[in-house]
Amino acid sequence: MADLAHGAGVTGGSISYLEAAVLGVVQGLTEFLPISSTAHLRVVPALLHWPDLGVAFSAVIQLGSLVAVLAYFFKDLVRIALGTLQALKEKDFSGPDVRLAGAIIIGTIPVVVLGLILKPFMEQLRSLYVVGGAAIFMGLFLLYAEKKAKHIKGIEQMGVKDGLIVGIGQAMALVPGCSRSGSTLTFAMLLGMKRADAARFSFLLGIPAIFASGLLELKEMLDAGLSGESMGALAVGLLTSLIVSYLSIAWLIKFLQNSNTFIFVGYRLLFGVLTILLAANKLIE
């Protein structure tokens, strides 16, 4: 068993390579599907009677998901960067690439501000009742968006105002159970975006937030001290997270091109209710 640093916000004390691999798979499956990775990283260890490794471990293995989204959208990111540089050079900010870059930058501000405010309280927010309640609430919100959305706008039509609105949704996902991809997908659909385009913007918007939170928690872990075995366990979690995240991104974008999100609504409601019932009956804690 690898001991992880308590000073980095890890509430449990140790993790095996098998546990790290399993949690990496859980992270990869749930980071980009609209069902909340933080909720599953809290509930799955509880169901298996493993220690809750806390916010720090969850944030660090998200870096595997970050590498996956960078790899999947590499060409898009290069195009957006080059288009933005060209727009700055020509002082023409009407193009889709520079507007999309602006939407991502502005959309990142709410989660940064709220994240700094809530950071001292993040472990308290990992209550199973909070997780279950948030899963149910956002499931119903996603259902509302699915019913009301027009699904007509493409990602090339995104602007700064749209980015800010979706960014507010991303900030809500600091509460475990809300789901970053789920809340951003919901807000983007309410703005009239097509499902697959809403998912693409959700993934692109998440890059700065995942990068910042993951590196911050990794630094705190390293400062607190990690053994070689602990680093090995984290590496296993990161690798499995990367592989499964990439497959999840590809699958979800293809799925949303022809399907609605009702399957995720149903799953969120069931997950939330079961989490609360299990916690209330002391079957998980």
In this predicted structure, the answer to whether residue 8 has a pLDDT above a threshold of 50 is no
Q: How many CB atoms lie within 10 A of CB 100?
A: 27
Residue 152 in this model has a pLDDT that exceeds 70: yes
Q: Binning pLDDT at 50, 70 and 90, where does residue 225 land?
A: low
- Give me the long-range contacts of 222-228 (CB less than 8 A, separation at least 24): 223/7, 223/8, 224/5, 224/6, 224/7, 224/8, 225/5, 225/7, 226/4, 226/5, 227/2, 227/3
pLDDT at residue 58 is higher than 90: no
Residue 285, in any domain of the structure: no
Does the structure show a pLDDT above 50 at 248?
yes
pLDDT tops 60 at residue 49: yes
What does the mean pLDDT of the chain come to? 89
Q: What are phi and psi of 193, to 5 degrees?
A: -75, 150
Which residue range is the domain that position 82 belongs to? Answer: 2-280
CA dist list (Å): 13 to 3, 41, 50, 221, 270: 6, 15, 10, 13, 30
Q: What is the pLDDT of residues 163-181, one digit of tens each?
A: 999 999 999 999 999 999 9
187 inside domain: yes
Predicted pLDDT at 14: 67
pLDDT level of residue 253 (50, 70, 90 thresholds): very high
Answer whether residue 168 is part of any domain: yes
The predicted pLDDT at position 190 comes to 97
- Predicted TM-score (pTM) of the model is 0.89
* pLDDT for residue 232: 85
Task: Please tell me the predicted confidence (pLDDT) of residue 245.
Answer: 97
Report whether pLDDT(227) > 80.
Answer: no
Per-residue pLDDT at 217 exceeds 80: no
Q: How many domains does the chain have?
A: 1
| Phi then psi dihedrals of residue 117, to 5 deg | -70, -40
Determine the average pLDDT of the residues in 242-252.
97
